[in-house]
Amino acid sequence: MPSFTTESVIRTEHRWIVPVGPLGAAGDDVEDALTAARLAWRELTGTRRDAPVPGDVVRVHVRDDAVVLSFEAQDQRPV
């Protein structure tokens, strides 16, 4: 009888991409994307809509032409 187990871990990165024009991105657009990302995280994790989201869940990355908000979710399944 083996004394170990195995599992496969699948990570999915969820992204919200806000275009950036010559004058930058609109603050309202970035805020809307952040709200949508937090709501999606709550739904995926089964967290209540009114519960706080930890500050490090959603990451912000700046590209030349966009602001990208993202979070990773993982699914663990026995092999």
DSSP-assigned states of every residue in 15-33: EEEEE-BTTB--HHHHHHH
Mean pLDDT of 6-29: 93
Question: Among residues 22, 4, 29, which one has the least CA distance to residue 60?
Answer: 29
Q: Which residues contact 20 (CB under 8 A, 6 or more apart)?
A: 63, 64, 65, 66, 67
pLDDT value of position 78: 57
pLDDT value of position 8: 83
pLDDT band of residue 74 (cuts 50, 70, 90) is: confident
pTM: 0.80
SS3 3: coil
